[in-house]
Amino acid sequence: MAEAAGAHVRHGVRSAAAGHGGSGPVSAPAEHVTVLLSEAVDALAIRPEGIYVDGTFGRGGHSRAVLARLGAHGRLVAFDRDPAAIAAGAAINDARFTLVHAPFSALDESLDAHGVGLVDGVLLDLGVSSPQLDEAARGMSFRFDAPLDMRMDTSRGQTVAQWLASAEVGEITEVIRDYGEERFAHAIAKAVVAARAGGAVSTTGQLAALVEKAVRTREPGQHPATRTFQALRIFINAELEELSVVLPKCLARLKPGGRLVVISFHSLEDRIVKRFMREHANPPPVPRGMAIREVDRPQPKLRLVGKAVKAGADEVATNPRARSAVMRVAERTEAA
């Protein structure tokens, strides 16, 4: 794969209609395609008067589709930490819709601030969107020579270039190895630190060239820098930490019968989601030696819904970036 972020990419919307104050359609931008659009919204099992959360607005593909199924008294709260996504969301003029500029890990405080308690469903579409990857200035792709930024929220935080300017070989090695599953991580880290003697590694082109020299072999069709760019982006945005923080918050906010739907694009993400859902779909452990009737056994808080869903051949053919998408669904039970 030639993309800087590997398959860890989600698209915006090609076309979808959304209710406009419950009375009319809102047209979506036409240049992007949302991965597993109908499958994800179907999995939410939308209740017309329900309250839903879209944790990753992007360009609004899933949000528009959810709004299209909500009734006049339904509500959708969407999150995104990308200022460009927030600006795009201004096109949705719908009283039922609230867009919050924050990472989804801020779920609790943001819902509280908007007077929202329990919700009927949460959708998390992980990874980066195509606009983030395709805009050279964001510095997420080696296809363009641009400032080495990679932040999802360009209004705050440290850029990759700033971090690489002072990180030690061991730190860089650990990030590239753990988040990129890159077996040449140490060689890449040494090359980066050595290159700093001649000036900062501040552009995507510089980094890609260093990685290309350090990586001796690579899978057919994959650029040598793919794993490194992916790893640095995941690290600088704390993507796996954000996911680990938000999942328990989602569980706590779901009403009985509410659905948690998560689309992952990377094995590390999917592993976190899979383990979380399985852990809470099993009954809590009973203290050792305690006799308890089966009817009195504590019940699990989640029920797994179906098997993992992947994009079909037709979707992958029209949108190759969908090929690594994995969707998992769980439903909140009545258990306290």
In angstroms, rounded to a whole number, what is the distance separating the alpha carbons of residues 177 and 3? Answer: 18
If one compares 324 and 239, the residue with the highest pLDDT of the two is 239
Q: Is residue 215 part of a domain?
A: yes
Q: Is residue 95 part of a domain?
A: yes
Q: What is the CATH number of the domain that holds 164?
A: 1.10.150.170
- Which run of H or of E encompasses 79? strand 75-80
Tell whether 327 and 282 lie within a shared domain: yes
Please answer whether residues 148 and 201 qualify as being in contact, where contact means their C-beta atoms are separated by less than 8 angstroms.
Answer: yes
For the cut 60, the answer to whether the pLDDT of residue 272 exceeds it is: yes
In angstroms, rounded to a whole number, what is the distance separating the alpha carbons of residues 289 and 169? Answer: 50
Which residues fall in the annotated binding site? 60-62, 80, 104, 125, 132
Q: Is residue 277 part of a domain?
A: yes
Which pLDDT band, with edges at 50, 70 and 90, does 169 fall under? very high
Q: Is residue 49 part of a domain?
A: yes
Range of the domain at 15: 9-130+239-332
Q: What is the mean pLDDT of residues 29-45?
A: 81
Query: CB 183: neighbour CB atoms within 10 A?
Result: 13
Tell whether 225 and 275 lie within a shared domain: no
The pLDDT value recorded for residue 290 is 66
Please answer whether residues 308 and 326 qualify as being in contact, where contact means their C-beta atoms are separated by less than 8 angstroms.
Answer: yes
In angstroms, rounded to a whole number, what is the distance separating the alpha carbons of residues 65 and 91? Answer: 15
Q: Number of structural domains, the chain?
A: 2
For the stretch 126-165, pLDDT in tens is 978 777 777 877 888 888 899 999 999 999 999 999 999 9
Tell whether 24 and 118 lie within a shared domain: yes
Which residues fall in the annotated binding site for S-adenosyl-L-methionine? 60-62, 80, 104, 125, 132
Tell whether 119 and 20 lie within a shared domain: yes
Nearest to 244 by CA among 104, 122, 108, 36: 104
If one compares 143 and 272, the residue with the highest pLDDT of the two is 272
Q: Is residue 19 part of a domain?
A: yes
The pLDDT value recorded for residue 96 is 98
pTM of the model as a whole: 0.86
Tell whether 247 and 118 lie within a shared domain: yes
For the cut 50, the answer to whether the pLDDT of residue 8 exceeds it is: no
Which of these three, 189, 215, 236, is where a domain ends? Answer: 236
Tell whether 20 and 106 lie within a shared domain: yes
For residue 254, list its beta bridge partners.
Answer: 119
Tell whether 151 and 217 lie within a shared domain: yes
What are the phi and psi torsion angles at 133 (to 5°)? -75, -35
Please answer whether residues 147 and 27 qualify as being in contact, where contact means their C-beta atoms are separated by less than 8 angstroms.
Answer: no
How far lies 117's CA from each of 63, 77, 152, 334, in Å?
Answer: 19, 12, 27, 17
In angstroms, rounded to a whole number, what is the distance separating the alpha carbons of residues 70 and 74? Answer: 5
Tell whether 121 and 143 lie within a shared domain: no
Q: Provide the token pair at 42.
A: 């179907």
Tell whether 157 and 220 lie within a shared domain: yes
Which of these three, 236, 256, 276, is where a domain ends? Answer: 236
For residue 53, the Cα-to-chain-centroid distance in whole angstroms is: 14
Which pLDDT band, with edges at 50, 70 and 90, does 286 fall under? low
In angstroms, rounded to a whole number, what is the distance separating the alpha carbons of residues 128 and 4? Answer: 11
Q: Is residue 4 part of a domain?
A: no
Q: Is residue 3 part of a domain?
A: no
Tell whether 251 and 193 lie within a shared domain: no
Write the DSSP string, 176-203.
HHHHH--TTHHHHHHHHHHHGGGS---B
Tell whether 29 and 115 lie within a shared domain: yes
Which of these three, 236, 266, 289, is where a domain ends? Answer: 236
Tell whether 147 and 107 lie within a shared domain: no
Largest interatomic CA distance in the chain? 71
In angstroms, rounded to a whole number, what is the distance separating the alpha carbons of residues 69 and 50? Answer: 10
Q: What is the CATH number of the domain that holds 74?
A: 3.40.50.150
Q: Is residue 2 part of a domain?
A: no
